Amino acid sequence: MAVVRVKRPPADRNIFFQVAGYVAEIGKGMRLTMGIFLRQLFKREASNTLEWPEQPADYGERFKGKHFLTLRDDGEIRCTACFLCATACPADCIHIEAAEHPDGSIEKYPSRFEIDILRCVFCGMCEEACPVDAIRLGPEYTMAGAAGEKWVYTKDYLSQRSVLEGGVTSVKDENTKHPDLDREDAAQTSHLKHGVH
């Protein structure tokens, strides 16, 4: 096999051209930055910067933010502790403990329902897996906090925190576990106050 010998390209030893090229590229970047800065300063161009938290971000209706647990019409938690959400969760961050319900017509309920939100990847699989519309991901996206905050969301927090206005009732009919909600039905039965999606 023929061996092809190539010559190493000569190093550019002219330091003047190296520095000039470097400064020229910085100048191009600064010109772009200053152009945008001045156009926005003198209102020639709209700024995309939000002054959060005074100016909240506007996300789409299908945004998947902080979870909440829905309630039945009688105010009881809708979850039946079937563990489907915990099984579907790829981050293994849902912890449920099932208990026998005092009402014989209800098989069981979650005596403990917790989500370790620091492990959650907000994939929505729990919402998809739930057969009774008991868990949803709502529009809340503000979850920043300091060390020592409670990052494990409890059943009460998930169903009754103040932003939920006392709790969110499910859009699904009480006796229908797997309804095919078309648009018209959804409009008639929608009493969801939070996270309409």
CB closer to ligand SF4 out of 21 and 90: 90
Cα separation, 149 vs 131, in Å, equals 31
Nearer to ligand SF4, 23 or 121 (CB): 121
Tokens of 7: 């010559």
Cβ within 8 Å of residue 61, ≥6 positions away:
139, 196, 197
- Positions in 45-84 near ligand SF4 (CB under 6 A): 79-84
Number of residues that bind ligand SF4 (CB under 6 A): 27
Short-list 63, 61, 195, 65, CA closest to 133: 195
The verdict on 168 binding ligand SF4 (CB under 6 A) reads no
Nearer to ligand SF4, 132 or 186 (CB): 132
Q: Please report, as residue ranges, which positions from 108 to 147 form the binding site for ligand SF4 (by CB under 6 A).
A: 115, 120-126, 129-130, 132, 134-135
Tokens 């019409």 appear where?
73
DSSP-derived letter for residue 176 is -
* Binding stretches for ligand SF4 (CB under 6 A): 79-85, 88-91, 93-94, 96, 115, 120-126, 129-130, 132, 134-135
